[in-house]
Structure 1
Amino acid sequence: MITMENIVRDGHPALREVAEEVQLPASDEEKQHLADMIEFVKNSQNPELAEKYQLRPGVGLAAPQTDVKKRMIAVHAEDAKGTLYSYALFNPKIVSHSVERSYLTSGEGCLSVDEPIPGYVPRYARIRVKGTTLEGEQIDIRLKGFPAIVFQHEIDHLNGIMFYDHIDKENPFKEPDNAIAIDR
């Protein structure tokens, strides 16, 4: 089971390294770690379990945040219509994206960053992601809105990029050009 103690914090070298591809089929150890990651994200959203295990609520987790330098992410997030996007993926990759951008009006947060970092984080409004599920199935999903932002945030972790790297240093609340504002 993954707890907050397993989450590395900002400044840890694992957060700035490019994670390695998972050789498929994944090992039992890799499958177990990815299953633990999605379980952590789901548990963190359950108020009783979050309190019991002292979990900060999260919508996604990338393996480097647990000091495992492999290309694995877990996402459990709803879009504006309440549709649940729950995925545990090996080797997720953005294969195409829109020109149009989007950003969260509330800014982004991260389980590895303890303090709030204000500012808008420009992301692609729509993305297409390919990856491999825990069961070894190849998937190809189209995402927009909040789930698209979450996937981009987690995939950034696999490339050693933190969300605040995208914030305009001169003007953190400068609205990105050609962008949709998403309230969350």
Structure 2
Amino acid sequence: MITMEDIIRDGHPTLRKVAEEVTLPPSDEDKRILKSLLEYVKNSQNPEISEKYGLRPGIGLAAPQINVSKRMIAVHVHDEKGTLYSYALFNPKIVSHSVERAYLTSGEGCLSVDESIPGYVPRYARVTVKGFDIEGNEVKLRLRGLPAIVFQHEIDHLNGIMFYDHIDKQDPFKPIENAIPIER
């Protein structure tokens, strides 16, 4: 089971590396890691489990965050209609995206970043993501709103990009043109 001690913090060199593709079909070890990423995110959202193990709640986690520089992510999040998006993917990539942008009005956070970094993080409003599930089957997801933002945040981790890299340093709350504000 992944705990907060397993999650590396901002400044660790692995967080700035481009992660390697996972060889498919996935090895038992890669499957174990991918399962544990999703298990952490689910457990962290369960008040009893998160309190018992001291887990910080998260809605996504990428393998580089546990110091494994491989292209694996897990997301467990509900959209504004209450639909659950719960996926653990190998080699996810954004294959298309909207011109329109979106951002979280509350800003973004990250399990690898302990302090709050205020500011708007511009993202694509809609993305299509392709990846492979735990069994190595191709998955194609069309996402919008919060799930789209979470997938972009986690895929950024695979490319050594942190959410605050997107924030305008001079004016963190500068309005983002043609963007949909998303409350969370």
- How many residue pairs end up in the alignment? 184
Write the mapping of 1:8-27 to structure 2, written as runs, cut at 5 A.
8-27=8-27
Cα distance between partner residues in 1 of 2:142 and 2:102: 15
Root mean square deviation of aligned Cα: 0.4
| Residue identity opposite 2:56 in structure 1 | R
| Residue identity opposite 1:98 in structure 2 | S
The structural deviation recorded for 1:137 is 1.2
| Residue identity opposite 1:134 in structure 2 | I
What is aligned with 2:73? 73
What is aligned with 1:109? 109
Partner of 2:31: helix, strand, or coil? helix
The structural deviation recorded for 1:136 is 1.5
Cα distance between partner residues in 1 of 2:53 and 2:115: 20
Contact 2:26 2:135 survives alignment (8 Å): no
What is aligned with 1:135? 135
| Residue identity opposite 2:50 in structure 1 | A
Cα distance between partner residues in 2 of 1:176 and 1:93: 24
Partner of 1:96: helix, strand, or coil? strand
The structural deviation recorded for 1:135 is 1.8
Cα distance between partner residues in 1 of 2:67 and 2:177: 35
What is aligned with 1:34? 34
Partner of 2:40: helix, strand, or coil? helix
Partner of 2:57: helix, strand, or coil? coil
Write the mapping of 1:57-72 to structure 2, written as runs, cut at 5 A.
57-72=57-72
| Residue identity opposite 2:100 in structure 1 | E
Q: Percent identity?
A: 76
What is aligned with 2:176? 176
What is aligned with 2:49? 49
| CA offset digits 1:68-121 (Å, max 9, x no partner) | 000000000000000000000000000000000000000000000000000000
TM-score, normalised by the number of residues in structure 2: 1.00
| Residue identity opposite 2:71 in structure 1 | R
Partner of 2:33: helix, strand, or coil? helix
The structural deviation recorded for 1:175 is 1.4
| CA offset digits 1:41-80 (Å, max 9, x no partner) | 0000000000000000000000000000000000000000
| Runs of 4+ off more than 4 Å | none
What is aligned with 1:160? 160
| Residue identity opposite 2:142 in structure 1 | R
- What 5-or-longer segments of structure 2 have no aligned partner? none
What is aligned with 1:3? 3
